[in-house]
């Protein structure tokens, strides 16, 4: 088998852009006609800058090569330009291309990828969703704790056993900062009302994304312990494992983090510091499926679990599902509601969801078939916003706006 062809699609998501402004999908083909798909989760630059970077990586490290040689591909990409450092854009590009290689490997073997990375453990995968509450005008409203509680109750009725919400205010390029008392009270009210709405049938996942200093995070955690969240997510910025560990030592709430980390080395440092007991790697950013498996194994050594992050498209989701199915220390998978809407339109057969669980596919490779007509109809992305982005101004103590990416 030799890889001979690459096509890249920047898929613009329809309003309200749940899952990001666009999805970066790659499609590889071998000389013998086997195709594979992958997804790049790399948001540092606009796609118009990334497309030539993707083509360069393909020509240097994949064209004419056997897709089975995953380790060779990883080491050459990771060392590209005399680096051997986790360059964010390179890691994203490598991740999407690596997923596509596994898709081809599975199809060639007529096996789901999970059977090739240890074999099926889980017949179904527990999943959670963000809350997407709407007000009386039909608009998404993330600032009202009463609407959030109603949404949580609705998701419990659907079958979800965990829901996530982000009540701690805007994500700023200048974070971490000390939260105001008003914001902390809002966080507590969110937790109180949602806990009352779902009782003990549903876990609360507190989604913060580096807004706080360690001291502020510890203050907030003490307020929220009474509501027993399953996790406190990324309470401080991701660059300093010891800072995350400082928070972990001062609260009974488990710390979850990792969506912005890019290599097994960063996850190893986090685990060694005691910074988290739940790892949220995104397979479109950490090097792909094999590197995700290695990170899961590192976590297993520390009796930590994985909860793969997913705020991108269904191709990345398919890769996470393959990993989770074959991972003994899997905890929960991020789901975008029940995988309806555009997530279903872009696939010929949507991701299987039933009563709060994802049902792993039994078809070969990643187990999905992309509807290329839909992809092409929504490509290319012509907007200027990045996939996600932070507020460009410092935190204002009087700003009570909800968190938005």
- Model confidence at 401: pLDDT above 80: no
CATH of the domain at 12: 3.30.390.10
307 shares a domain with 286 = yes
- Model confidence at 403: pLDDT above 80: no
- What is the average pLDDT across 163-191? 94
CATH of the domain at 146: 3.20.20.120
CA proximity to 284, closest of 312, 306, 257 = 312
- Report the pLDDT value the prediction gives residue 15, as an integer from 0 to 100: 94
372 inside domain:
no
Please state the separation of Cα 118 from the chain's center in Å: 22
218 shares a domain with 288 = yes
Would the pTM count as exceeding 0.95? yes
Give the phi and the psi of residue 174 in degrees, each rounded to 5. Answer: -105, 5
The proportion of the chain whose per-residue pLDDT surpasses 90, expressed as a percent, equals: 92
CA proximity to 267, closest of 236, 232, 293 = 293
Question: Of residues 279 and 175, which shows the higher confidence score?
Answer: 279
173 shares a domain with 84 = no
- Report the pLDDT value the prediction gives residue 395, as an integer from 0 to 100: 85
- Report the pLDDT value the prediction gives residue 405, as an integer from 0 to 100: 66
59 inside domain:
yes
146 shares a domain with 74 = no
65 shares a domain with 159 = no
**At 345, is the secondary structure helix, strand, or coil?**
helix
- Model confidence at 402: pLDDT above 80: no
374 inside domain:
no
Q: Let me know: does 326 contact 293? Beta carbons within 8 Å.
A: yes
Domain end marker among 82, 110, 138? 110
- Model confidence at 64: pLDDT above 80: yes
352 shares a domain with 245 = yes
- Report the pLDDT value the prediction gives residue 157, as an integer from 0 to 100: 98
- Model confidence at 398: pLDDT above 90: no
71 shares a domain with 103 = yes
91 inside domain:
yes
Average pLDDT, the chain: 96
377 inside domain:
no
> Considering its fold, how many domains does the chain have in total?
2
Residue 34: give the domain boundaries. Answer: 3-110
134 shares a domain with 106 = no
164 shares a domain with 36 = no
- What is the tens place of the pLDDT at every residue in 102-151? 999 999 999 999 999 999 999 999 999 999 999 999 999 999 999 999 99
404 inside domain:
no
- What is the average pLDDT across 142-171? 95
381 inside domain:
no
Rounded Cα gap, residues 260 and 208, in angstroms: 13
- Report the pLDDT value the prediction gives residue 320, as an integer from 0 to 100: 98
100 shares a domain with 157 = no
120 shares a domain with 100 = no
CA proximity to 148, closest of 235, 219, 200, 207 = 207
Counting other chains too, the contacts that 44-48 makes at CB distance below 8 Å and 24 or more residues apart are 44/88, 44/89, 44/386, 45/89, 45/386, 46/384, 46/386, 47/10, 47/22, 47/380, 47/381
């Amino acid at each position: 088998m030799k890889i001979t062809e690459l096509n890249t699609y920047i898929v613009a998501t329809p309003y309200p852009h749940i899952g990001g402004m666009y999805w970066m999908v790659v499609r590889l083909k071998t000389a013998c006609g086997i195709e594979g798909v992958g997804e790049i989760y790399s948001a540092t630059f606009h796609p118009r800058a990334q497309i030539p970077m993707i083509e360069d990586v393909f020509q240097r490290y994949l064209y004419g090569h056997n897709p089975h040689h995953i380790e060779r591909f990883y080491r050459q990409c990771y060392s590209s330009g005399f680096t051997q450092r986790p360059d964010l854009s390179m890691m994203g590009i490598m991740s999407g291309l690596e997923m596509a290689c596994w898709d081809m490997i599975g199809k060639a073997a007529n096996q789901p990828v999970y059977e090739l990375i240890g074999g099926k453990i889980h017949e179904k995968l527990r999943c959670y969703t963000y809350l997407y509450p709407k007000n009386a005008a039909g608009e998404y409203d993330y600032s009202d704790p009463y609407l959030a509680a109603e949404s949580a109750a609705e998701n419990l009725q659907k079958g979800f056993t965990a829901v996530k919400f982000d009540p701690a205010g805007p994500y700023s390029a200048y974070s971490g900062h000390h939260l105001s008392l008003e914001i902390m009270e809002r966080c507590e009210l969110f937790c109180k009302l949602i806990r009352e709405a779902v009782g003990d049938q549903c876990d609360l996942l507190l989604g913060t994304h580096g807004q706080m200093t360690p001291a502020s995070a510890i203050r907030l955690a003490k307020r929220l312990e009474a509501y027993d969240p399953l996790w406190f997510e990324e309470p401080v910025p991701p660059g300093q494992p010891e800072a995350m560990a400082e928070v972990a030592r001062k609260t009974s709430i488990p710390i979850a983090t990792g969506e912005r980390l890019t290599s097994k080395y960063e996850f190893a440092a986090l685990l060694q510091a005691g910074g988290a007991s739940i790892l949220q790697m995104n397979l479109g950013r950490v090097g792909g499926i094999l590197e995700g498996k290695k990170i899961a194994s590192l976590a297993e050594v520390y009796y930590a679990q994985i909860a793969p992050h997913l705020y991108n498209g269904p191709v990345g989701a398919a890769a996470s599902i393959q990993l989770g199915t074959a991972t003994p220390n899997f905890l929960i998978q991020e789901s975008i509601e029940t995988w309806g809407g555009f997530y279903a339109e872009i696939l010929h057969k949507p991701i299987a969801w039933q009563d709060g669980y994802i049902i792993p596919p039994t078809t070969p490779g990643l187990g999905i078939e992309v509807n290329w007509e839909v992809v092409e109809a929504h490509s290319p992305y012509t907007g200027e916003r990045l996939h996600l982005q932070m507020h460009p101004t410092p935190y204002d103590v009087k700003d009570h706006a909800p968190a938005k990416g």
